[in-house]
Amino acid sequence: MSKQFLRPPGAAAEADFLGRCIRCGKCALACPYRAIRIAGLLDGLTVMGTPVILARKSPCYLCMKCVAVCPSGALDSRVKKREQIRMGTARLNKKECLNWQGTFCRSCYDHCPLFNEAITMDGELRPVVNEKKCVGCGICEHVCPADPAAIIVTPRGAG
Amino acid sequence: MKIAPIRRTVQILSLAGMVAVPLLNSRGISAVSGSFYSLEIGSLLLTDPLIALQPLLATMSIDATLLDSALIPIGLALVLGRVFCSWVCPQNTLSELFDAVGARLGLTRLWTPGPGPIPRYAVLALILAATLLYGFPLASLLSAPGIISVQTARFIYEGTVGLELALIGTIILVELFLVRRVWCTHLCPVGSMLSLFRFRKTMRVVMAEEGENTCLHCRECAKACQLDLNPMAGNIAPQCHNCGACIDACQEMTGERRPLSFRF
C-alpha cells in the first residue's frame, strides 16, 4: 500500500474509496478554497486522478460542497454535518509545539472549527487533541507557526 | 447540405466548453460542472456509461444515482450511434487534426489492422475483468476524453498538468507513425462501451439499394474515412462513429442524389 492521503469529507474507507471514485474531478472543481487537488501519476497509479488534500498548504474548511457534487458516492452524501466527518485525526508533536517549548501559542486552538471541542487547552495551557471529536480537517496543521508543523493530521486508516 | 461544418462547430464548442467549465467554476459559477467522465448541467447528471459501470464492478454495490446518470448517454448512443466519439470527444478532435497533418506530410504507417470489432471488444472485456478482479476503476485511467478534460481543469486551477497526458501524447505518436487512428478504432474502452448500445434502428451510414440511387464506385467515401472503413462494403458498424465524412465526399461526387446517407 502506498502512502495514505488525506481525503475530502465523507470519503469511504481507502480501499472502498479507490473503487468508488470515478476520477471525474468534480470535487476539486467545487472546492471554493482549492484545497482539493487531483493526485497525479507520480503519486501512484492507484491514487492517480483521485482527490487529495494537502492540509499544510490548504486545509479543508468543511463547507461540504464537494460531498454534494460527488456523482459516485465515493464521498458519502449522507455525511451532512461536520461532526460526522472522519477525514483523519490531528496528532501533536510535543517536540515541535511552541507551548511545550515555553512560548505561549494558541493558533491551533483558536482556529479549530470544532472550537474548544476537538482541541482544548490543558491546565498548563498546552493544546490537547480530543481524538473522538477531531474530524481531521487540517486547519490546525495549516495555521501552526512551527516549522515543520507541530500538529499534523494523520489520514484515517493510516498508522 | 454538408455535415462537416456542423460537426466542426460542435467539436469546437465542445472544446470551448471543456475550457469554460473549469474557468467559470473557479469563479464560483457552477451551473455546469464536471468533466468528460461525468457532467452536471443544473441538476441533470450525465455520466459516461463505462465510467458509471466501474464502481458497480469494483465494489459490488449499486449506486442508483450514478447508474441512472448514464441513461441519457446510452439513449443518445442507441438513437444516433457513437456521435459522442466523432462530434464531441476531444481525443478524436486531436487525432483527426494530427491525421490531417500526417496526410499533409505524406506519412505512411507501419501496419494496418483488420477492420473487425473483435479486438476492441477484447480490450474492453479485459479492462472490465481487471476492474472486477482488482476492485479498481482502470478505465478511468484509460479514458482519453476524461484525462484531457480533468487535466485542462487542473491546469486552470493549479497551473500545472500531470504525467497522465503522456497517454494522449503516446496515442498521437502511435497514430501518426505506427497504426492510423488505432485508438479510436481498436483500443478506446469508452468508445467500445458506447458501441455496445446499438440496435436495428440506430442511426448509421447506409448505401442506397441498387436502382434507388446509383453508386459511382468512385471510392471517394472510403478515401474520406479516417478510420479506413469502406462504406461501399456495407456493414461498417460498430467501428464507424458516424462522423459523416464519407457522406460529404459522396455528395461531392453525386450531388443531392448521393447514394450514401445517414439512415435510422
Convert the pLDDT of each residue in A57-71 to its tens digit.
Answer: 999 999 999 999 999
Q: From the candidates B18, B21, B29, B30, which should be mutated to test the interface with A, based on the most A CB atoms within 10 A?
A: B30
pLDDT band at B38 (very low <50, low <70, confident <90, very high): very high
- Whether residues B25 and A24 touch (CB distance < 8 A) is answered with no
CB contacts, 8 Å: B135 with chain A: 15, 18-19
Task: Please check whether residue A73 touches B, CB under 8 A.
Answer: yes
More confident residue, B254 or A136: A136
Distance from CA of B133 to the nearest CA of A (A): 11
Yes or no: say if B236 and B257 are a contact pair by the CB < 8 Å rule: no
Q: Return the pLDDT at B111.
A: 77
Query: Pick from B51, B136, B146: which is nearest to A19 by CB?
Result: B136
* Calpha distance B152→B28 (Å, rounded): 17
The set of cell numbers assigned to B10 is: 460542435
Taking one residue from A and the other from B, the number of pairs with CB-CB distance under 8 angstroms is 113
CB contacts, 8 Å: A48 with chain B: 141, 162, 164
Over residues B16-29, mean pLDDT: 95
Give pLDDT tens digits for A11-52: 989 999 999 999 999 999 999 999 999 999 889 888 999 999
| DSSP β-ladder status, A119-121 and A127-129 | antiparallel
Q: Return the pLDDT at A3.
A: 75
Q: How far lies B126's CA from each of B121, B133, B145, B196, in Å?
A: 9, 10, 20, 15
Q: Return the pLDDT at A1.
A: 44
Task: Please check whether residue A121 touches B, CB under 8 A.
Answer: no
Q: From the candidates A17, A18, A24, which should be mutated to test the interface with B, based on the most B CB atoms within 10 A?
A: A24
Q: pTM for the full model?
A: 0.92
Q: Return the pLDDT at B237.
A: 79
- Say if residue A125 is exposed, middle or buried (CB neighbours under 10 Å; 0-12, 13-18, 19+): exposed
Over residues B234-260, mean pLDDT: 87
pLDDT band at B211 (very low <50, low <70, confident <90, very high): low
DSSP state of B231: G
SS3 B61: coil
Average pLDDT, chain B: 92
Q: Quick one: CA dihedral B182, B185, B187, B188, positive or negative?
A: positive
* Calpha distance B153→A34 (Å, rounded): 12
Cα within 13 Å of Cα(B70), Cβ side: 19
Over residues B193-205, mean pLDDT: 93
The set of cell numbers assigned to A51 is: 482527490
Q: From the candidates B38, B61, B128, B131, which should be mutated to test the interface with A, based on the most A CB atoms within 10 A?
A: B38
Task: Give the amino acid at A137.
Answer: C
More confident residue, B264 or B256: B264
* Calpha distance B21→B164 (Å, rounded): 20
Among the listed residues B185, B174, B189, the one whose alpha carbon sits nearest the alpha carbon of residue B115? B185
Q: Return the pLDDT at A88.
A: 96
Distance from CA of A32 to the nearest CA of B (A): 7
